[in-house]
Amino acid sequence: MKVAILSPIAWRTPPRHYGPWERVVSLITEGLVKEKIDVTLYATGDSITSAKLRSICKTPYEESDIDPKVWECLHISEIMEQADEFDIIHNNYDFLPLTYSRLIKTPMVTTIHGFSSPRILNVYRKYNNTTHYVSISDTDRSPELDYIRTIYHGIDIDNFTLNEDVGDYLLYFSRIHPDKGTWEAIKVAKKAKMKLIIAGIVQDKAYYEEYVKPYLNNNITYIGSISPRERDSVLSNAFALLHPVNFNEPFGLSVIESMACGTPVLAFGRGSMPEIIQDGRNGFIVSDIEEMVMKLKDVESLSRKLCRKTVEKKFSQERMVKEYIEVYKEILNK
């Protein structure tokens, strides 16, 4: 089986720091190679992979001054013009590659990493009957589309260290954006009178200037975007991860990364959170800031080993890759 994997070019694959889609693509690609699958990865030229790498865009557009739309078109057209070399194409680049899908003979499966806007559903609807969609959680499915399977993201658990000792600070690890609830995490920390570390890229500068920066002090610190190595240390030494999302979260890599370190997660029950977190076992699902503050007193009663076991069972790289191989075979057998 020859598989072509299409990765985004916003960031390197795998990313140096931020880049959740690119991180998942890398894990899928490397996992497929371990399973002796013939894989070609289409990504930026500086990407790191054990698969065959093809690139037309040398560097990520978020880390250079190139025009995103121009290089998106060049990047996607490259794989489509070479489509007949492969048995299947795995699209991780949202809706745009779907517009090529009827122009090629090679079947394509698209992992929908979330809907950035209801307006893009027009494209997904058009190609619903001629391609294949994978959802990353049951909650993130559109009733207007058909899906071949839900496949939860997986992580390389060996990159995360279980720490059974309870830390002394709260952690917010996500984009600095209203959707992700940075301000809500700050309010929880202030009410609980606990230290808070904020990590992640600033995606909304105005929001950061008004709702984050003025409240930074010795107890509430912002450490920026952190590398994979730093991520392990920051997550494993935290008391708990706060995830007070204000939108329907499609999945949440930071949530399973935190649990892999043994660190429980407190999250608003939006989107996929109830699918990932078992309330009262590896974290808490709460409805508002006050309840999140109240549940902090119960964090130490949770088993950090159980948090880790949840990830080993449900969110491993091996499980994710195995399920994608099953999907590829199902599509090809049709």
Q: Per the structure block, which two tokens stand in for 29? A: 């690609």
Tell me the pTM: 0.93
Q: What pLDDT score does 141 carry? A: 96
pLDDT band at 227 (very low <50, low <70, confident <90, very high): confident
Burial 117-152 (b: 16+ CB within 10 A, else e): eeeeeeebeebbeebbbbbbbebbbbeeeeebebbb
Q: What pLDDT score does 117 carry? A: 85
Q: What pLDDT score does 318 carry? A: 97
Sign of CA dihedral 184, 140, 136, 311: positive
Q: Assess whether the region 2-154+316-333 and the region 157-314 belong to the same CATH fold.
A: yes
Q: What pLDDT score does 85 carry? A: 98
Q: Per the structure block, which two tokens stand in for 113? A: 């990493």
Q: Write the pLDDT tens digit of every residue in 112-124.
A: 999 888 899 999 9
Superfamily assignment of 157-314 in CATH?
A: Glycogen Phosphorylase B; (3.40.50.2000)
Q: Which CATH architecture has domain 2-154+316-333?
A: 3-Layer(aba) Sandwich (3.40)
Q: What pLDDT score does 18 carry? A: 87
Residue 292 to residues 184, 188, 193, 208, 217, Cα–Cα distance (Å):
10, 7, 13, 22, 22
Q: Write the pLDDT tens digit of every residue in 182-208.
A: 999 999 999 999 999 999 999 999 999
Q: Write the pLDDT tens digit of every residue in 297-317.
A: 999 999 999 999 999 999 999
Question: Distance (Å, rounded) from C-alpha 228 to C-alpha 31?
Answer: 18
Burial 228-253 (b: 16+ CB within 10 A, else e): eeebbebbbbbbbbbbbbeeebbbbb
Annotate 67-107 with DSSP letters as a single string.
Answer: -HHHHHHHHHHHHHHTGGG-SEEEE-STTGGGGGGGG-SS-
Domain definitions of the chain by residue range: 2-154+316-333, 157-314
Paired strand residues for 172:
198
> Per-residue pLDDT for 229 more than 90?
no
